[in-house]
Amino acid sequence: MITIALPKGELLKPSIRLLQSVGIDFSLFLDPANRLLQITDATGTATGLLVRAWDVPVYVEYGQAQLGIVGYDVLKEKDAQVANLADLGFGKCRLSIAVKKSSSYRHPADLPIHGRVASKFVRCAREYFYKLDLPVEIVPLYGSVELGPITGMSEAIVDLVSTGKTLRENGLVEIATMFDSSAWLIAHPLAYRLNSDNLSVLVEKLRQGSRQPSI
């Protein structure tokens, strides 16, 4: 039986829709009354694990799940030893650098040397500014990161942006995009290589299903 790690949050519904399109139904995870974190599809062909998005690569890397669906942003930040199989095309957003609109910074290089950048994407931010040859202090924040520049704790933030509405409402503006992100299908490398439980068949179905237009 194939085990699939699914992310809580915005990617859950489209992930379940994609799996339903290939005959696997984990819609019980969408029931507000459900408290189960592990369920088996009615056909008995797959088990689903409902975990935090940031934990999906961990469950796959350690073999508790053969497949997983997770945002590319998480993959970049976690750097887990998993096989990145396919861009599923939903959950599109971008990891951006933003500052107060009233500031003079209009490019990351404008930020002061040893200035502060707040983000939960510590690894991604550190790598970006290292390549820019700009030494900054990365301040780890895991909620309401927009408050960094607002309160003066940081000159900038690195955060996921979809529509940009939250930034605008808080007087912030994007000055650079680090990379684009969307949902990816990942696999445990050895399980995929050995084709455990005919994993390749399901992977191909999911690849094909992700290319179909949404109804």
pLDDT of residue 215: 42
What confidence score (pLDDT) does residue 7 get?
Answer: 98
2-91+182-210 sits in which CATH class?
alpha beta
Residue 77 has which token pair? 């930040």
Which residues of the chain fall below pLDDT 70?
A: 212-215
How confident is the model at residue 43, as a pLDDT? 87
DSSP 86: E
d(CA 144, CA 3): 33
Domain ranges of the chain: 2-91+182-210, 93-181
2: three-class secondary structure by DSSP: strand
Tell me, what's the pLDDT at 212? 67
What is the per-residue burial (b if ≥16 Cβ within 10 Å, else e) of 59-89? bbbeeebbbbbbbbbbbbbbebebbebbbbe
CATH class of 93-181: alpha beta
pTM: 0.92
